[in-house]
Amino acid sequence: MYEEREVQAVNKMDIQASISTFETQVSQFKARRVELEQEKANIEREIATIDGNQARLEGALTNLYTMKNAFEAMMKSMMGDISIPVAPAPAKPFVAPVAAAPAPVPAPAPVKQVKVEKSVEKPVEVPEEEAEAEDEVEVEEDVAEEQEEGGEDEIELTQIKIGKKDYLIDEEFNLYDVKTQEAVGKYDQKNKKILPL
């Protein structure tokens, strides 16, 4: 009987130790649960902050696009729908657009002049590519044309090269076609360009 009491006492102590262990574990689980709930609350706050920042950024982006469109519309209304020319690479020569003024052309060098009769002729319109020639004026050769018999004024003409085209020029810088000797324009010494008639 004494032994049974000892066994019961030992069993009771084991049960109490087990209960104490379980209570400790339950306390630890409860503390961990509180920590996890706090972490969850922190994560939810961070998500809400991120969502708010995303909404603000999207609003700012929308405002920027609206401002860009308004600025482009304002520029078109002020300047018209034009394209801004981009400077070419340094290796390539600049080619002026059709609407731009031609580049300056140096004055032709004086050469031996011959007399040719001047006739009143209908002005011929100079093509744009000739009016916009950018090369230097080069004297090619003398023109040897004699005045035919008649009472018309004599004009001294010199053959020159402006750009890639040959012309005849008089002392007043009027330009004539080499083949037909019709007036095609006037050479502007100040601006170094060909003015159409």
The residue extents of the domains of the chain are: 1-84, 114-196
Minimum mean pLDDT range among 87-96, 115-124, 130-139, 142-151: 142-151
Find the helix or strand (DSSP H, E) in which 68 lies. Answer: helix 2-79
CA–CA distance, 12 with 33 (Å, rounded to integer): 31
The token duo for 129 is 């590519």
| pLDDT greater than 50 at residue 148 | no
What pLDDT shows up at residue 78? 85
| The pLDDT value given to residue 188 | 86
Residue 75 in this model has a pLDDT that exceeds 80: yes
Percent helix, percent strand, percent coil in the chain, to nearest 5? 40, 20, 40
Q: Is the predicted pLDDT of residue 145 greater than 70, yes or no?
A: no
Distance between CA 77 and CA 167 in Å, rounded? 44
Mean pLDDT, the chain, rounded, equals 75
Task: For residue 8, count CB atoms less than 10 angstroms from its CB and return exposed for 0-12, middle for 13-18, buried for 19 or more.
Answer: exposed
* Cβ neighbourhood burial of 144 (10 Å; 0-12, 13-18, 19+): exposed
Using 50, 70 and 90 to split pLDDT, how confident is the model at 100? low
CB 167 within 8 A of CB 160: yes
Smallest Cα–Cα separation from 153: which of 170, 137, 133, 132?
Answer: 170
Residue 23 pLDDT greater than 90, yes or no: yes
> pLDDT band at residue 192, thresholds of 50, 70 and 90?
confident
For residue 144, the model assigns a pLDDT of 42
Q: How confident is the model at residue 141 (pLDDT cuts 50, 70, 90)?
A: very low
Residue 14 to residue 167: CA distance in whole angstroms: 125
Percent of the chain with pLDDT over 70: 60
Banded model confidence at residue 48, pLDDT cuts 50, 70, 90: very high
pLDDT band at 6, cuts 50/70/90? confident
d(CA 88, CA 93): 8
Where do we find the tokens 């093509």?
Answer: 127
